[in-house]
Amino acid sequence: MKILRFDGGRIGVSDGKKVVDVSELCGSGPGDWPPVGINRLIRDFDALRPKLEALLAAQAGVPVDSVRLETPIPWPNKLMAYPVNYHDHAKEMASRGLADVQGYFLKSNSSLVGPADHIELPALTGREVHHECEIALIIGKEGRQILPERALEHVFGYACLLDMTVRGKEERVFRKSYDTFTPVGPWITTADEVPDPTDIGMKLWVNGELRQSANTRDLIVSVRNMIAIASSASTLYPGDIIATGTPAGVAKVVPGDTVSIEVDRVGKMALQVVQGTRGFNVVFEKPYEFVRHS
């Protein structure tokens, strides 16, 4: 099953072809503030699932391509991410700060956007913004100090995720937290439709050119251990998002580009890159030259 948000905050279920509005069942709808109806759905999913499945089977709904898809979880308790979680990416960045050395970092929730939005480049002269192809793990059950062997019990589902990054040596969180820098979507595919999280392929294209391709079998810190590490420090809550890290192939995007991402058995989405007029600050006054290592 696919769980999604659409058309101004409505919550829907989908088989990938049609969308059935279940906002009323979730006690949620357009105008909710904060927009946490989908967090409650995730928390209560086991109890709601029979009703959701019945509605999806019985109602005609509307075609997926007739609605405006939005980021599935706009208000997670935490948006967590793992740096340098593929050896090939560590090599290209000449980085020793691997995910099993540094642990996770946090991104601003306000950087979240959906598949129908744009990636807006900040007005930073002399700075490159790079794409990073990742998978979003969606937490479904609260937990602290979760053992790796129990970690998958806490995964609600998966989504495509782009971790856009201003290249530089400033604080990672700052460079990755600009508005629109974390597109997530096109929906959440529930975990039962992704039977083996150790074998999920993903790819990223820019203007049709393949830039990144990897599989979760190549992760430095596995899906299970990402959850275990994160929960050792922070209680995980339904709707929390964990970004798995990116493989090699990161590169600059410019206005007019189309960035497309596809995750096997999960979904795909494509976003346009536009130039913004905001974002300048004194921290980024000095240019930074990105050097790719081989």
Q: What is the pLDDT of residue 204?
A: 98
Q: What is the distance between the alpha carbons of residues 195 and 44, in angstroms, rounded to a whole number?
A: 21
Number of domains within the chain: 2
Contacts of residue 32, defined as CB under 8 A and 6 or more positions apart, other chains included, come to: 9
Which pTM value belongs to this model?
0.95
Q: Tell me: do 211 and 96 sit in the same domain.
A: yes
Q: Label residue 110 left, alpha or beta by phi (over 0 means left) and psi (-120 to 50 means alpha).
A: alpha
Mean pLDDT is lowest, of 82-91, 103-112, 275-284, for 82-91
Q: Tell me: do 64 and 89 sit in the same domain.
A: no
Q: Tell me: do 92 and 205 sit in the same domain.
A: yes
| Residue 75 forms part of a structural domain | no
Q: Tell me: do 232 and 115 sit in the same domain.
A: yes
Q: How confident is the model at residue 92 (pLDDT cuts 50, 70, 90)?
A: low
Reported as a single tens digit per residue, the pLDDT across 184-228 is 999 999 999 999 999 999 999 999 999 999 999 999 999 999 999
| Residue 288 forms part of a structural domain | no
Q: Tell me: do 112 and 236 sit in the same domain.
A: yes
Domain that holds residue 248: 81-278
Q: What is the largest CA-CA distance in the chain?
A: 59
Q: Tell me: do 166 and 264 sit in the same domain.
A: yes
287, 127 in Cβ contact below 8 A? yes
Residue 288 has pLDDT above 90, yes or no: no
Residue 94 has pLDDT above 60, yes or no: no
Q: Assign residue 274 the CATH number of its domain.
A: 3.90.850.10
| Residue 128 forms part of a structural domain | yes
Residue 294 has pLDDT above 60, yes or no: no
Q: What is the pLDDT of residue 97?
A: 59
Tokens 């709808």 found at: 29
Structure tokens at 59: 């109602």
Q: What is the pLDDT of residue 47?
A: 97
| Residue 261 forms part of a structural domain | yes
Q: Tell me: do 148 and 174 sit in the same domain.
A: yes
Average pLDDT score, the chain: 94
Q: Label residue 41 left, alpha or beta by phi (over 0 means left) and psi (-120 to 50 means alpha).
A: alpha
Q: How confident is the model at residue 101 (pLDDT cuts 50, 70, 90)?
A: confident
| Residue 119 forms part of a structural domain | yes
Closest CA to 26 of 8, 13, 7: 13
Q: Tell me: do 36 and 99 sit in the same domain.
A: no
| Residue 76 forms part of a structural domain | no
Q: Tell me: do 131 and 29 sit in the same domain.
A: no
Q: Looking at residue 231, what DSSP letter applies?
A: H
| Residue 291 forms part of a structural domain | no
Residue 90 has pLDDT above 90, yes or no: no
Q: Is the model more confident about 15 or about 90?
A: 15
Q: What is the pLDDT of residue 31?
A: 87
133, 223 in Cβ contact below 8 A? no
Beta-bridged to residue 275, according to DSSP, are 121
Residue 160 has pLDDT above 70, yes or no: yes
Q: What is the pLDDT of residue 283?
A: 93
Residue 289 has pLDDT above 90, yes or no: no
Q: What is the pLDDT of residue 102?
A: 85
Residue 164 has pLDDT above 70, yes or no: yes
| Residue 156 forms part of a structural domain | yes
Mean pLDDT is lowest, of 4-8, 67-71, 157-161, 244-248, for 244-248
Closest CA to 217 of 235, 236, 197: 197
